[in-house]
Copies of this chain bind each other. A is one copy, B any other.
């Protein structure tokens, strides 16, 4: 299925927590958006794989995604192997997104940084004609832009997407992941081991901070590896 934009994420809910606002805006602009989760998140502290599958389905529906897939790599063992990157490259040729989003290659969570590396390598390889011919699938295609979104380590963003107008809907989408928001048991204070605070509080803090960087109420930060084409700058005004 042809997509305009594809978000790659190590675990279900990563795409939503970090990028739901951007996905909603892309769709509002008429683009077809998909999400590829690399694992089923079965090593997450809270929720069974079955619960998480149901929650992902609900979030997918609420977001109105055109497509959602899962590479079924083992959670906590997502690895940037040649095999995984070639599976991903084939998938990129098949869906042919023009905009690609993945976690950052330097993220502290090893699954996140593996996701970032896999996406960067597969993005490059998806554009090689001979690789496409060898695999017998659709012809070579490389997304025009590869952005990295934020996970557990901050970076200086090139762009911030103003998601103020869709913030309330993003919160609803995150709430689909009820198992991730509730404490697991008496010892579980519902807070992240590294950062403290629960998922929604942290998402809001980050959105407000990066929103203010561009003078907006809520924003989602994006990293790009080089300069962006400025068009005629009219989009800034």
A206 at the interface (CB under 8 A from B): yes
> What 0/1 pattern do residues 192 to 226 of A give for CB contact below 8 A with B?
01111100001001101110111111010110011
- The reply to whether A213 and B226 contact each other, CB–CB distance below 8 Å, is yes
A104 at the interface (CB under 8 A from B): no
Q: Which residue of B lies closest to A194 (CB)?
A: B215
- The reply to whether A227 and B124 contact each other, CB–CB distance below 8 Å, is no
Known: A85-B110, A202-B212, A217-B196. A162 touches B237 (CB 8 A): no
A160 at the interface (CB under 8 A from B): yes
- Segment touching B, from A22-30, A53-61, A62-70, A172-180: A22-30
Report A143-166 residues with CB < 8 Å from chain B CB. Answer: 144-145, 153-154, 156-162
List of B residues within 8 angstroms of A160 by Cβ = 227-230
List of B residues within 8 angstroms of A29 by Cβ = 232-234
- The reply to whether B213 and A197 contact each other, CB–CB distance below 8 Å, is no
How long is the Cα–Cα vector from A205 to B201 in the complex, in angstroms?
A: 11
Report A1-52 residues with CB < 8 Å from chain B CB. Answer: 4, 22, 25-26, 28-29, 31, 42-45
Report A122-142 residues with CB < 8 Å from chain B CB. Answer: 124-125, 127-131, 134, 140, 142
Residue picked from A43, A85, A160, A232, most chain B C-beta under 10 Å: A232
How long is the Cα–Cα vector from A229 to B158 in the complex, in angstroms?
A: 9
Report A70-125 residues with CB < 8 Å from chain B CB. Answer: 76-77, 79, 82, 85, 98-99, 108-110, 120-121, 124-125
Known: A212-B196, A237-B144. A228 touches B28 (CB 8 A): no
How long is the Cα–Cα vector from A108 to B143 in the complex, in angstroms?
A: 14
Q: Which residue of B lies closest to A42 (CB)?
A: B130
List of B residues within 8 angstroms of A228 by Cβ = 158-160, 214, 236
Nearest-Cβ distance from residue A136 to partner chain B, whole angstroms: 15
Q: A161-B233, A162-B229, A234-B235 are in contact. List 5 more A-B contacts (CB 8 A).
A: A22-B230, A154-B226, A162-B231, A194-B215, A195-B215
- 5 A-B pairs with the lowest CB-CB distances in the bound complex, closest first: A159-B230, A235-B235, A209-B209, A29-B232, A214-B229
